[in-house]
């Protein structure tokens, strides 16, 4: 039902929908999601097929421009991105000023916004050509910011990696190369990261994506809109769940591995504890991404010969939850982030970088949604409210209060 004329047609009625649970904010041709049936498709292609057959850059092109690229289109896209895979030297000074203990998501969102100052032409984008230039710029520079955020925390010298490598391969090299050391990344890790990034690449009008669209709807620049999206992603109810899941699993392990105790806490309405990585606003059957990731986690751990007791705790929790009436009745299933942290951990990525990796994957989705919103000339996002505060009051001087 399109209710955009409700107010004028009714003389002032508005709808109230806290958390926008039942409100569509736009028309979109990017991602299809059926929460009841557990279906996720990007531009009509199933997530299962894309995760198996496509690479991240192809998926990024598909999301942003609407079609899978031909080989020539993919090569050009990659070459244009590579040409932008450097950042202004002064970015290093900003990075240097952050405390080493700062959370990587705060650093990343600040640096992404700061890029606007060094690339002012990315703000006034009035044609598809302007947009394309801004898009390849951020696709090139963002992985550098991600890797440098990690290196800063690790006390490693900054590194541009090797532009001759694939996009995802180079992210790993930029992050992990040690000084004076040849870094060779395992194919298993590159493929697993590629898959994870594809699975995270878009998810229609979630909290961070809505933030990007609504920020961009004021015609703030692309990088500023993305920075807002990164901040929204940070929270533990959204992208920050991957960090929270790992911390929860660690805490259960340290507490003797008693999963039943934590199941009871999650069900106790007087306890704020929630089983992190369970439940989803839209999926009320299962999260198709979680199935793919669970399998990938098994493969990665087996290939690397890692035996992680955390994985056993995760599997135990999942098994118990799937049989527990509290979780079954509320349709709470493992979501994408229940298993992603286990793979990141096996890759040697620190826990507080997990949500940064999510942001790297979500980047093309945010860009695609921003581009769709701008090309569709959507109006500025401006929800209404139901005012429940005081009615008219007379001002009282401070000495009389
Ligand atoms: N553990 C225990 N109980 C839960 C959980 C959970 N993880 N999730 C929901 N519930 C319960 C709620 O307490 C509520 O119970 P009630 O009906 O008795 O009051 C019921 O299930 C419905 O939950 P809501 O919070 O109303 O559902 P909503 O759609 O608003 O929230 C959310 C979805 C935020 C994902 C929620 O399930 C949650 O907090 N999960 C844990 C955090 C998480 O994993 N987030 C990642 C989401 S995926 C992503 O963003 C990439």
203 is catalytic: no
Q: What is the pLDDT of residue 122?
A: 85
Closest C-alpha residue for ligand 1 atom 21: 330
Q: Are the CB atoms for 144 and 160 separated by under 8 Å?
A: yes
Q: What is the pLDDT of residue 161?
A: 87
Residues 6+ apart with CB under 8 A from 386: 14, 16
Question: Which ligand 1 atom is at minimum distance from the Cα of 19?
Answer: 30
- Between the CA atoms of 106, 227, 38 and 282, what dihedral angle is there, to the nearest 10 degrees? 90
Q: How far is CA 384 from CA 19, 305, 306, 387, in A?
A: 13, 54, 52, 9
* SS3 category, 41: strand
Ligand 1 geometric centre to CA of 99 (Å)? 33
Residues 6+ apart with CB under 8 A from 199: 47, 51, 289, 292, 293, 336, 340, 361
Q: What is the pLDDT of residues 308-333, one digit of tens each?
A: 888 889 888 989 999 999 999 999 98
103 is catalytic: no
Q: What is the pLDDT of residue 132?
A: 97
Residues 6+ apart with CB under 8 A from 353: 104, 149, 150, 153, 344
Q: Which DSSP state fits 278? A: B
Nearest CA to 376 out of 213, 231, 236 is that of 213
Strand partners for 45: 42
Ligand 1 geometric centre to CA of 285 (Å)? 14
Nearest CA to 288 out of 343, 333, 353, 256 is that of 333
Q: Are the CB atoms for 374 and 211 separated by under 8 Å?
A: no
Q: Which residue, chain included where needed, has tokens 């793979």? A: 343
Spatial distance between the Cα atoms of 57 and 73, rounded to a whole number of angstroms: 11
Closest C-alpha residue for ligand 1 atom 34: 237
Ligand 1 geometric centre to CA of 34 (Å)? 18
Ligand 1 geometric centre to CA of 371 (Å)? 30
Ligand 1 geometric centre to CA of 32 (Å)? 22
- Token pair for residue 100? 């080493």
Q: Is residue 195 within a helix (H) or strand (E), and if so which, with residue range? A: helix 187-200
Closest C-alpha residue for ligand 1 atom 45: 237
Ligand 1 geometric centre to CA of 277 (Å)? 9
Claim: this prediction has a pTM higher than 0.90? yes
Q: What is the gyration radius of the CA atoms in the chain, in angstroms?
A: 22
Q: Please, is 71 exposed, middle or buried when counting C-beta atoms within 10 Å of its C-beta (0-12, 13-18, 19+)?
A: exposed
Nearest CA to 249 out of 201, 195, 309 is that of 309
- Token pair for residue 69? 């690229």
Catalytic residue (one of 280, 329, 352, 399): 280
* SS3 category, 381: coil
Question: Which ligand 1 atom is at minimum distance from the Cα of 245?
Answer: 44
Q: What is the pLDDT of residue 167?
A: 96
Question: What tens-digit pLDDT sequence spans the chain (401 residues)?
Answer: 777 788 888 888 889 999 999 999 999 999 999 998 999 999 999 999 999 999 999 999 999 999 999 999 999 999 999 999 999 999 999 999 999 999 999 999 999 999 999 998 888 888 999 999 999 999 999 999 999 999 999 999 998 889 899 999 999 999 999 988 888 878 888 999 999 999 999 999 999 999 999 999 999 999 999 999 999 999 999 999 999 999 999 999 999 999 999 999 999 999 999 999 999 988 888 889 998 998 888 888 888 888 888 888 988 898 999 999 999 999 998 888 888 988 898 888 999 999 999 999 999 999 999 999 999 999 999 999 999 999 999 999 999 99
Question: Which ligand 1 atom is at minimum distance from the Cα of 278?
Answer: 7
Closest C-alpha residue for ligand 1 atom 9: 279
Nearest CA to 56 out of 150, 261, 166, 197 is that of 197
Q: What is the pLDDT of residue 259?
A: 92
Pocket test for ligand 1, best of 279, 320, 331, 341 (most atoms within 8 A of CB): 279
Catalytic residue (one of 159, 194, 337, 352): 337
Spatial distance between the Cα atoms of 345 and 87, rounded to a whole number of angstroms: 28
Secondary structure (DSSP) of 48-79: HHHHHH--HHHHHHHHHHSSPPPHHHHHHHHH
Closest C-alpha residue for ligand 1 atom 46: 238
Closest C-alpha residue for ligand 1 atom 10: 279
- How far is Cα of residue 388 from the mean position of the Cα atoms in its chain? 34
With a Cβ cut-off of 6 Å, ligand 1 is lined by 237-239, 241, 266, 274-281, 330, 332, 335-337
- How far is Cα of residue 222 from the mean position of the Cα atoms in its chain? 16
- This model of the complex carries an ipTM of 0.95
């Amino acid at each position: 039902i399109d209710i955009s004329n409700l107010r004028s047609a009714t003389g002032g009625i508005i709808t109230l929908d806290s958390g926008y649970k039942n409100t569509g904010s736009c028309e979109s041709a990017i991602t299809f999601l059926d929460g009841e049936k557990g279906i996720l498709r990007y531009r009509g292609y199933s997530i299962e097929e894309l995760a198996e057959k496509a690479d991240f850059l192809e998926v990024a092109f598909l999301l942003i421009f609407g079609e899978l690229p031909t080989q020539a289109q993919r090569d050009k896209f990659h070459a244009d991105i590579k040409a932008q895979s450097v950042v202004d030297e002064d970015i290093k000074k900003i990075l240097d000023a952050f405390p080493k203990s700062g959370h990587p998501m705060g650093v990343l969102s600040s640096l992404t916004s700061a890029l606007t100052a060094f690339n002012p032409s990315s703000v006034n984008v009035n044609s598809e050509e302007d947009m394309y230039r801004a898009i390849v710029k951020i696709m090139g520079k963002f992985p550098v910011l991600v890797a440098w955020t990690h290196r800063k925390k690790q006390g490693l010298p900054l590194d541009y990696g090797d532009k001759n490598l694939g996009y995802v391969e180079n992210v790993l090299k930029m992050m992990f190369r040690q000084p004076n050391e040849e870094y060779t990344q395992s194919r298993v890790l590159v493929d697993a990261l590629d898959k994870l990034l594809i699975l995270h690449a878009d998810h229609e009008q979630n909290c961070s994506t809505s933030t990007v669209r609504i920020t961009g709807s004021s015609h703030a620049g692309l990088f500023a809109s993305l920075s807002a999206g990164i901040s929204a992603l940070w929270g533990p109810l959204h992208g920050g769940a991957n960090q929270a899941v790992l911390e929860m699993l660690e805490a259960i392990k340290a507490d003797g591995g008693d999963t039943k105790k934590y199941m009871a806490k999650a069900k106790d309405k007087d306890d704020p504890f929630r089983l992190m990585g369970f439940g989803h606003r839209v999926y009320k059957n299962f999260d198709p991404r979680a199935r793919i990731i669970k399998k990938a986690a098994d493969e990665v751990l087996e290939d690397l010969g890692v035996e992680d007791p955390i994985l056993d705790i995760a599997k135990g929790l999942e098994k118990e939850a799937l049989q527990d009436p509290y979780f079954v009745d509320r349709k709470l299933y493992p979501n994408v982030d229940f298993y992603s942290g286990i793979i990141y951990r096996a890759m040697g990525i620190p826990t507080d970088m997990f949500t940064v990796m999510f942001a790297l994957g979500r980047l093309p989705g945010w860009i695609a949604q921003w581009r769709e919103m701008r090309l569709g000339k959507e109006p500025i996002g401006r929800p209404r409210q139901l005012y429940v505060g005081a009615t008219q009051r007379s001002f009282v001087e401070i000495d009389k209060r």
